[in-house]
Amino acid sequence: MHIYIHIPFCESKCPYCAFGSHSDQFAITKEYFKALTKEIKNIKFNDKISTIFIGGGTPSSVDARLYDEIFEYLRPNLNNDCEITSEANPNSANLKWLNHMRELGVNRLSLGAQSFNEKKLKFLGRIHNSKRVFKAVEDAKIAGFKNINVDIMYGTKLDTKALISSEIQALKELEITHISAYSLMLESEFSSKISYQKDSPILAKYLINSLENIGFNQYEISNFGQICKHNLSYWQGDDYYGFGAYAVGTIGLKRYKGATNLKNYIANPFKKSIEKLSLEDKRSERVFLGLRSIIGVSLSDLSSNMQKTAEILIKERKLILKNGRIYNPNFLLADEIYLYLSQP
Ligand SMILES: C[S@@+](CC[C@H](N)C(=O)[O-])C[C@H]1O[C@@H](n2cnc3c(N)ncnc32)[C@H](O)[C@@H]1O
Ligand code: SF4
């Protein structure tokens, strides 16, 4: 079993970000955690938990002790090798917070750096400088974290090959295990505030090659290095609980989402909006996600029409067939290949 826990608080709201997070709701963090703890404690886990991901928002923006009761409840249900990730912002991931999370059992840290270039950080509206990212990684190592991810973003109008090379150099110096590199995506209402380079496949390819050259193998369109088991479980279509406001969970053919208003969530953490999935929805998700990652797609998930189209792409070496599964050697083309396979 897999668990996602959402922390909807951030020290400041970045203008590009559409995640469920608030910078003006810290007054209700205690009530939020009370509701969150109640929601989690309502579940009797039949299967052992193999991954937990605490995401946000910014999990490090709140006192680490607020997580104590949740871990106390979850601990007896954890697999011995349970991967427990927490996201964090370099600004708030201080040694005290990191030490406490490590003591609770968190064994993977995911830091949102976004860039190491001061101009780009300002452009993105970030509240930390690049030195702070180095300090947070150093502190995470002191606290005992061995599995550390850093998120960066590319595709802003400031990005050039030279800027990307400097980001890669900084990432190399950090000596971490994983890098998530996201191409900047903007919801339309934010587009006027930040401009970005739409469709810059040359820069994307350059970034991917550079990351591979410093030893981070790409295993999904945005992910490189030591595989994150939690993400892998999403892409495989496994069941997972989603706890908290905004959190999405999927159990069988039921996908549900927590309230997107914090006061409503606190009033009733069990109220979810529910989407019924069909077997066809699950199948097409497996195809779509499999093409974006090393998971690949089972031929049995393809309709006979799709299998015929896949054969053409296999001949053209745009897809690779191995043991009844097809694999996409260029994740940047995943969306196009999916559309091509799906045509009637
Ligand atoms: C929940 S945040 C990570 C932790 C923390 N909130 C922070 O930003 O430092 C998850 C990641 O999503 C990425 N992200 C957020 N908005 C994005 C956007 N509009 N386009 C691409 N990536 C985005 C960023 O790299 C960010 O680090
Ligand atoms: S990118 Fe991270 S810190 Fe910025 S608003 Fe989004 S969740 Fe919060």
Question: Does residue 151 have its Cβ closer than 6 Å to ligand 1?
Answer: yes
Question: Does residue 110 have its Cβ closer than 6 Å to ligand 2?
Answer: no
Q: Is residue 338 part of a domain?
A: yes
User: Ligand 2, residues 6, 13, 126, 156: which to mutate, most atoms within 8 A of Cβ?
Assistant: 13
Domain final residue pick, 200, 235, 270: 235
Q: Is residue 296 part of a domain?
A: yes
| Residue pLDDT, tens place only, 142-151 | 999 999 999 9
On whether the CB atoms of residues 216 and 172 are closer than 8 A, the answer is no
The rounded Å distance from CA 147 to ligand 1 centre is 19
Between CA 223 and CA 340 the distance in angstroms is: 24
Per residue, the 3-state secondary structure of 200-219, as one string, reads: CHHHHHHHHHHHHHCCCCEE
Please determine, for residue 153, whether its predicted confidence score (pLDDT) is greater than 90.
Answer: yes
Which ligand is in closest contact with the Cα of 187? 1
| Residue pLDDT, tens place only, 196-223 | 666 578 899 999 999 999 999 999 999 9
Backbone angles phi, psi at 51, to 5 degrees: -145, 145
Residue 215 gets the label, from left (phi > 0), alpha (psi -120 to 50) or beta, of left
CATH number at residue 221: 3.80.30.20
Taking CA atoms only, the protein residue closest to ligand 2 atom 4 is 14
The rounded Å distance from CA 8 to ligand 2 centre is 9
pLDDT on residue 343: 86
pLDDT on residue 118: 97
| Among 12, 56, 47, CA closest to 245 | 56
Between CA 316 and CA 293 the distance in angstroms is: 20
**Who has greater pLDDT, 192 or 308?**
308
pLDDT on residue 272: 98
Please determine, for residue 194, whether its predicted confidence score (pLDDT) is greater than 70.
Answer: no
pLDDT on residue 200: 77
Q: Is residue 334 part of a domain?
A: yes
Q: At 344, is the pLDDT very low, low, confident or very high (cuts 50, 70, 90)?
A: confident
Same domain, 230 and 322: no
Q: At 190, is the pLDDT very low, low, confident or very high (cuts 50, 70, 90)?
A: low
Q: Work out the mean pLDDT of the chain and round it to a whole number.
A: 95
Q: Is residue 223 part of a domain?
A: yes
| Nearest-atom index, ligand 1, CA of 16 | 19
Q: Is residue 284 part of a domain?
A: yes
The DSSP element (H or E) to which 240 belongs, if any, is: strand 240-243
Q: Is residue 254 part of a domain?
A: no
Question: Does residue 17 have its Cβ closer than 6 Å to ligand 1?
Answer: yes
Same domain, 50 and 152: yes
Question: What's the whole-number mean pLDDT along residues 103-128?
Answer: 97
Percent of the chain with pLDDT over 70: 97
Same domain, 216 and 330: no
In three-state secondary structure terms, 186 is: coil
The DSSP element (H or E) to which 87 belongs, if any, is: strand 78-88
Q: At 186, is the pLDDT very low, low, confident or very high (cuts 50, 70, 90)?
A: confident
Same domain, 13 and 146: yes
Same domain, 207 and 299: no
Please determine, for residue 233, whether its predicted confidence score (pLDDT) is greater than 80.
Answer: yes
| Among 71, 51, 55, 36, CA closest to 1 | 51
Q: Residue for token digits 């496949």?
A: 201
Question: What's the whole-number mean pLDDT along residues 315-329?
Answer: 97
| Residue pLDDT, tens place only, 53-101 | 999 999 999 999 999 999 999 999 999 999 999 999 999 999 999 999 9
The rounded Å distance from CA 122 to ligand 1 centre is 15
Question: What's the whole-number mean pLDDT along residues 286-312?
Answer: 95
**Who has greater pLDDT, 89 or 344?**
89
For CA atoms 113, 177, 98, 106, give the dihedral sign: positive
Please determine, for residue 188, whether its predicted confidence score (pLDDT) is greater than 60.
Answer: no
The rounded Å distance from CA 197 to ligand 2 centre is 21
Q: Is residue 260 part of a domain?
A: no
CB contact set of 39 (below 8 Å; sequence gap of 6+): 243, 244, 269, 270
Q: Helix H segments across 8-145? A: 29-41, 68-74, 95-104, 118-123, 130-142
Please determine, for residue 22, whether its predicted confidence score (pLDDT) is greater than 70.
Answer: yes
Please determine, for residue 187, whether its predicted confidence score (pLDDT) is greater than 80.
Answer: no
Please determine, for residue 324, whether its predicted confidence score (pLDDT) is greater than 60.
Answer: yes
The DSSP element (H or E) to which 281 belongs, if any, is: helix 279-291
| Residue pLDDT, tens place only, 281-296 | 999 999 999 999 999 9
Q: Is residue 49 part of a domain?
A: yes
What residue numbers bound the domain in which 302 lies?
279-342
Same domain, 155 and 296: no
| Among 272, 242, 266, 247, CA closest to 32 | 266
Number of domains comprising the chain: 2
